[in-house]
Homo-oligomer: A and B are copies of this chain.
Amino acid sequence: MQLTLDLKNTKSFLSDAEFAAYQPKLADAAKTLREGTGKGNAFLGWRELPENYDRDEFARIKKAAKKIQGDSKVFVVIGIGGSYLGARAAIEFLKSPQYNLLPKNTPDIFFTGNNLSPDAVREVITLIGERDFSVNVISKSGTTTEPAVVFRIFRELLEKRYGKDGAAKRIYATTDHARGALKTLADAQGYETFVVPDDIGGRYSVLTAVGLLPIAVAGCDINALMAGAHAAMTELAKPGMDNPAWAYAACRNALLEKGKRIEILACYDPAFRFMAEWWKQLYGESEGKDGTGIFPASVDLTADLHSMGQYIQDGARVLMETVVHIGRSSEKLAVPYDEGNLDGLNFLAGKDLYEIGEQAFLGTVLAHVDGGVPNMVIRIPARDEASLGELIYFFEYACGLSGYTLGVNPFDQPGVEAYKKNMFALLGKPGYEDRRAALAARL
């Protein structure tokens, strides 16, 4: 594993003893995870996934990706939450947030079914235009409202264009292995199916078919991604506070105890934006319960040093910051020399942008520490598949540890049901009549 964690810039906030005091808690949490004896233990399938994943399905994913790359100019991915964020984050990180605009020989990829905006859904239809397209619908049950209604729309579109049989060859369903609305439909219609495992929750599913199919269609190397995750899995199984996952989980919990109740995830590469969204789901949904949990936020640096930077430096002192630092890019772009030097920046002439960014990073960490914000720094070598695999597994495993250390069930999400029940009631879903009447009275 090449990922490292640097806690040097938390030392003025947390004594060695305060940090070390978490050792037994982490040993417990690691044991609970390993032995599967804790809350939510029906959802630990992600833990050994990089070792145990289904090789046959993995080969089918790569084959399907190849077919889609060959017969489709557009790939529409329908999913929400864990069935959306991981794949989008990985593709933006490995390729670009502007992936669709860039010259390439892989399909454009549009994510939909993650909102109820008619404008946004219509736009995807416009963007497909007359081009050949395929659809990946991702839903364990097949009944989650947003993806299900949007899938109805795209299925109709496909069937109109290609006929029922032709459409069936262009629909890929990632769903339950045996049960549920989508699995039943897929089997009846002959869609190729991939599996959302029973023992892996949505936010932990990016390394299953849920994430892997879109990532592979984008032309990313999913072998290297899994190899990176495997390296992290092996390394992070070792006990001790020098294990970066133990250390990260300990540090953030210790800082929470000291009133740092917001964690800001920062990165200096704009391609990381959606990885931060994925991280917010992972940590927010795992720990944000029982009236507790660190509130996860994110910034895109250096851009946001000129927006949220003021708050981080001087606002309410309730923040901790975690920086994901990416090693030197192979891309070189030097600052041109300018005879006039009106901007006074000739002292930077010939310097590569990355080098300037590096000093911005180093200077910012110290400025924030001086301002009262402890900084954790996670370093990965590059914007590549192996690094991403390590980072994903690191965050997943540390999240399990951290949740158990905090004392919550890191693998459930009971709060997500509340809005759904209200929405169903207001929409007149059969069986929700009583709730509907109660809500109507309040509106």
Contact = CB atoms under 8 A, between A and B. Distances in A.
Interface in A314-356: 314-319, 329, 331-333, 335-336, 338, 340, 342-345, 347-348, 351-354, 356
A383 B269 CA distance: 30
A107 interface: no
Contacts of A309: 285, 415-416, 419
Contacts of A383: 119
Given A145-B356, A342-B185, A311 B297 contact: no
A202 B344 CA distance: 22
B418 A371 contact: yes
A145 to B, nearest CB: 7
A143 interface: yes
A364 interface: yes
Contacts of A307: 81-82, 85, 203, 277, 280-281, 284-285
A297 B115 CA distance: 19
A429 to B, nearest CB: 6
Interface residues of A, number: 133
B423 A364 contact: yes
A315 B343 contact: no
B366 A303 contact: no
A310 B288 contact: yes
A362 interface: yes
A106 B389 CA distance: 40
A417 to B, nearest CB: 9
A152 B418 contact: no
Chain A binding surface SS class = helix
Contacts of A281: 304, 306-308
Interface in A183-223: 184-185, 188, 202-203
Interface stretch (A37-45, A94-102, A231-239, A392-400): A94-102
A63 B28 CA distance: 68
Nearest to A415: B313
Interface string A269-309: 11100000100110011011111110111001111111111
Contacts of A342: 142, 181-182, 184-185
B288 A118 contact: no
Interface of A: 80-82, 84-85, 96, 98, 100-103, 108, 114-123, 126-127, 142-143, 145-146, 148-149, 152-153, 155-156, 181-182, 184-185, 188, 202-203, 261-262, 268-271, 277, 280-281, 284-285, 287-293, 295-297, 300-319, 329, 331-333, 335-336, 338, 340, 342-345, 347-348, 351-354, 356-357, 359-360, 362-364, 366-368, 370-371, 383, 413-416, 418-430, 439, 442-443
8 contacts: A85-B307, A117-B270, A118-B329, A143-B344, A284-B311, A285-B307, A287-B315, A291-B317
Given A285-B309, A289-B310, 12 more contacts: A98-B100, A101-B127, A115-B302, A116-B360, A118-B333, A143-B343, A280-B307, A288-B315, A362-B443, A363-B439, A367-B421, A371-B418
